[in-house]
Structure 1
Amino acid sequence: MNFQRIQEKLNILADAAKYDVSCSSSGSKRSNTNNGLGDSSGMGICHSYTEDGRCISLLKILLTNHCIFDCAYCVTRKSNDVKRAAFKIQEVVDLTINFYRRNYIEGLFLSSGIFKNADYTMERLIAVAKKLREEERFNGYIHLKSIPGASDELMYEAGLYADRLSVNIEIPTISGLKLLAPDKKHEDFTKPMLKVKNELIRFKNERKIIKSTPKYAPAGQSTQMIVGATGETDKDIMYSATYYYKKYNMKRVYYSGYVPVAEDSRLPSIGSQVPMLRENRLYQTDWLLRFYGFTVNEILNNDHPNLDVDIDPKLSWALRNLHHFPVDINTADKQMLARVPGLGIKSVHKIINARRFRKLNWDHLKNIGVALNRAKYFMICDSRNWERRDLDADRIKGMILKQSVGKFRNQYSQQLALFN
C-alpha cells in the first residue's frame, strides 16, 4: 500500500466530506457477535462534537469526489477546479479497521460523488460495508449516504449492512432544486427514501413473527437540507422538513448553512455565508415540532416567515401569544407547561411529579432545577415573591436579553479569573 498516496486521498476526501452534517451516530443497537470487532450498542458509539456541533466520532469520508453532476451548491461539482481523488474499496475497509483499532473512531460515515451512474456508485458503497461486516466481522456503526436514483434492490441490500441510511434532499424546495441542480429530479431523492421507509416497516412486521429476520437499517434514515442557497424562508424550510418527517418517517432532518464554494450567478456571493445561529434556530424549531407539540404555523407563518435571531423560537412564540400566560404551575396540563419558555420536558415531568404532594412555590421550583430567569415571566405558583403583573412583550424580551448578557459577562469573568 502506498501510504503517501493514501494520506493524500484521505486529506482530499475527508475535507470534501465536511459539508455533510448528517452524521449522527445514535439509534443503533448492533451488538458484537462471534468475537467480531467493535460494538455499536449502548455506549459503543462515542459522541464527540466540534464547536459548531458537527459529529467527529466517525471516520467521515467520500469514496470519491469525482462527480458527473454540476450542482451549483456542491464543492465536488464537475466544473469546479478542485483536486480529485478516489478510494479503492479495500482502502476504505483498511482505513476503517486501522483507525478503529487505534481508537480514533467508533464507526464509518461513507458518502460519495457520483461517477458513471447512481447504481455503480451505490454498489461500491455497499461493497465497503459488506466487506467490513462479513470479512472483517466489524460490528461498529456504519452510516451510508445513499445515492439519489439508486435502485430499490440496492437500497434493500444497503440496509442489511448499514446502521443508518440517508439521502440528502439538498435543496428544501423543488423549484430551488431545478434552479441549482437541473440534472437531478426530485423523485431521484424520494424514491430511495420511500424504499427505506417501506423496508423498515416490513422488517418490524416480520420481526414480530420471525425473530431471526435480518436487521434492516436499525438506526433508520435521515436527510439534510442546505439552508440559504436559494432564498427560502425559514417557514419554507420547516414545512419541507415536516413533510419528510411525516411522509418518510425520517429519524432526523439536518440543516446545513450554505457555504460558498464557487462563483455562480444563481447563488449568494462568495463573501456571504449563512450564520451558524440560523442553523441553531432551525434545530430548536425542529425540536419544538417533534417533542413539544408545536405546529409549524404556530411558530412560522406569513406574518413571521423567518425565525428571530436574538431569541429562541419558543420564547418568540410566547411573546406573540401572551394571552396564554401566565400559566399556573400547579394546575396547568403537560402540554401547556411544555410551552413555557425555559421549561424543558425533564423539568415538566419533575413539576408534574412534585405537585402531586404539595403546591409548588419558587423555592421548590429552584430545588427541582427549573431555570427561572425566563420562565418566571410566564407562570405563577404558590408564592408572591415575583408576579409578572402587566409587562408587555417588548419589556419582557428586553429584561430577558439583559439578564442573558449579564450572565454571559459573569461566566466570562469567572473564566478569566482562572488564568490570573
Structure 2
Amino acid sequence: MSFERIRQKLSILADAAKYDVSCASSGGKRANTKKGLGNNTGFGICHSYTEDGRCVSLLKILLTNHCIYDCAYCITRKSNDIKRAAFKIQEVVDLTINFYRRNYIEGLFLSSGIFKNSDFTMERLVAVAKKLRLEENFNGYIHLKSIPGASDELMREAGLYADRLSVNIEIPTKSGLKLLAPDKKHEDFIKPMQKVKNEIIQYKAERKIIKSTPRYAPAGQSTQMIIGATGESDRDIMYSATYYYKKFNMRRVYYSGYIPVMTDSRLPSLGTEVPVLRENRLYQTDWLLRFYGFSVNEILNDTHKNLDLDIDPKLSWALRNLHLFPIDVNKADKRILARVPGIGMQSVFKILQARKFRNLDWSHLKAIGIALNRAQYFITCNSKDFYKKDHDPYTLKTKILKSSNSKYKKYFNQQLSLFS
C-alpha cells in the first residue's frame, strides 16, 4: 500500500483517538532484554510528564473508526457521516516500530471502533501487541483498550502482551448509558474489568511460588468517564469512580468533559462544552479520595452535589467545616494536617519530621513550602499571630481568592519581565 494511503489512514485514525484521555504508563516496568527494541521503565506516555520533568509521548491511534454501534456521544458512531478507515495489523506494527526508531514515541496506545463483533475486534488488537512483543522484540509501553463484551480468553491474552488495559465505562450511570448508548449493556463493561482484576490477583499469587510466571498487565487497568453528556452531578460521578476503584482495583479513573461535535436531541446543544475547570476539580477530588483520606460524602452530599469551580475541593470542605479549625501544626496528627488547605502530603511528612526537633513557627512553615496564603487561616503554630480572626466562610473565601489572584498576578508579571 502506498505511503500516501498510510498517511491518510494515520490522519483519520489518530484524529479519532484524541477523545480518549485514559492513557498513562505509571506502574509499567518492562526491562529491555536480549538486545530487544525499546525499554519501558515506568515513566509516562502520551504527552505526560515524568518526575524529572521530561515530556514523553506515544503513538495513539484507533485500529479502525468503523463501528457497529450508534452511541449518541461518539464521533465514530455508525450514523455519523465521516471518513472511515482501518489499519491492517501489520501496518500498526510497522508504524510503531518506525516511529520508535525515529525517537518519535515511547510506546503505543491502541483503541478501536467495534466492527463485526467484540471478539473479532479484540482479537485484532491482541494480534498487534503479540506481533510487537514476539516478532519485533519490542519492550516499549503498550496500552490496549479492552473491548466491552470480549471473551475471557482474549482478555487473558491481552494482559500477557500489554502493560495496561482499560475499558471505558463511558457514561457514569446505568441510566445515562441506556439513554445515550441503548445498544450497549452495562454488564459488557463490567465483565472484562472483573477478568483483568482476577488475572492480576492470580498472577501475584503464582509469582510468589513460581518466579518465572508470565507478567499480566503490570501497569494494571484504568477506565474513563464522559462527563457532561448527561445530567449526572459531580456527586454521582465520584460515587461511580469510588465504586470502580474499590471493586476492580483501578489504577486510574479519567474524567473527560463532553465535547459537542454533533447534533442530537439527547445531548447538550452545540457550543456548550464542559468547562475544563470542572474536569480539574474532579481530578482534585479523585486525588483527595485516594491519597488524603477523604470520603465522597465529606466533599459531595445532598446539600453539596456539585464542586465549586472557583475554589478547590479541599478549601471548599474546610470552609464548610470551620468548627474543626484552627489546628496546631505542632500537635495535630497526619490525618488532620492533610486536610488543611495549602498543605500537601509532602509538606505533611516534612512537618512531622521537623517538629521532632523543635516547635514550628510561620518562618519554618514557609521554608517547608506550605501555601500560607490559604493555610494561615486554618492553623496555629509557635507564634502569637493567628489569622482567622473569626471570619465567616464567605468573607474568608473572598480573602483567600483575592490573595491567590494577587500572588498569581505577581508571578505572571515576574515571568513577563524575563522577556522584556
The TM-score with structure 2 as length reference comes to: 0.97
Partner of 2:52: none
SS for the counterpart of 2:110 is: strand
Task: Check the 8 A contact 2:24/2:45 in 1, yes or no.
Answer: no
Displacement of 1:58 after TM fit? 1.1
Letter in 2 for 1:236: D
Task: Check the 8 A contact 2:46/2:60 in 1, yes or no.
Answer: no
Cα distance in 2 for partners of 1:402, 1:391 equals 15
Residue 220, structure 1, aligned to residue 205, structure 2: no
Cα distance in 2 for partners of 1:73, 1:387 equals 49
Deviations 1:28-86 (A, max 9, x none): 1110111101111155x567349xxxx96111000000000000000000000110000
Partner of 1:276: 276
Cα distance in 1 for partners of 2:258, 2:56 equals 20
Partner of 1:48: 47
In structure 2, relative to structure 1, the CA distance for the partners of 1:346 and 1:185 (3 Å cut) is: same
SS for the counterpart of 1:197 is: helix
Residue 124, structure 1, aligned to residue 118, structure 2: no
Deviating more after overlay: 381-390 vs 281-290: 381-390
Cα distance in 2 for partners of 1:370, 1:316 equals 18
Partner of 1:180: 180
Letter in 2 for 1:94: D
What percent of counterpart residues are identical?
76
Letter in 2 for 1:65: N
SS for the counterpart of 1:224 is: strand
Letter in 2 for 1:160: L
Partner of 1:407: 407
Task: Check the 8 A contact 2:334/2:352 in 1, yes or no.
Answer: yes
SS for the counterpart of 2:219 is: coil
Gaps of 5+ in 1: none
Q: How many residues align?
A: 415
Give the RMSD, CA atoms, in angstroms.
1.2
Deviations 1:185-204 (A, max 9, x none): 00000000000000000000
Letter in 2 for 1:195: K
Partner of 1:343: 343
In structure 2, relative to structure 1, the CA distance for the partners of 1:197 and 1:347 (3 Å cut) is: same
Letter in 1 for 2:117: N
Cα distance in 2 for partners of 1:367, 1:275 equals 35
Partner of 1:329: 329
Cα distance in 2 for partners of 1:30, 1:203 equals 16
Cα distance in 2 for partners of 1:108, 1:239 equals 31
Partner of 1:148: 148
Partner of 1:302: 302
Deviations 1:91-120 (A, max 9, x none): 000100111111110000000000000000
Deviating beyond 6 angstroms after TM superposition, the runs of 4 or more aligned structure 1 residues are: none
Residue 68, structure 1, aligned to residue 79, structure 2: no
The TM-score with structure 1 as length reference comes to: 0.97
In structure 2, relative to structure 1, the CA distance for the partners of 1:211 and 1:99 (3 Å cut) is: same
Letter in 2 for 1:205: A
Displacement of 1:382 after TM fit? 0.3
Displacement of 1:415 after TM fit? 2.5
Deviations 1:286-335 (A, max 9, x none): 00000000000000001000000000000000000001100100000000
Cα distance in 2 for partners of 1:264, 1:42 equals 41
Deviations 1:384-406 (A, max 9, x none): 24432211111111111001111
Residue 203, structure 1, aligned to residue 203, structure 2: yes
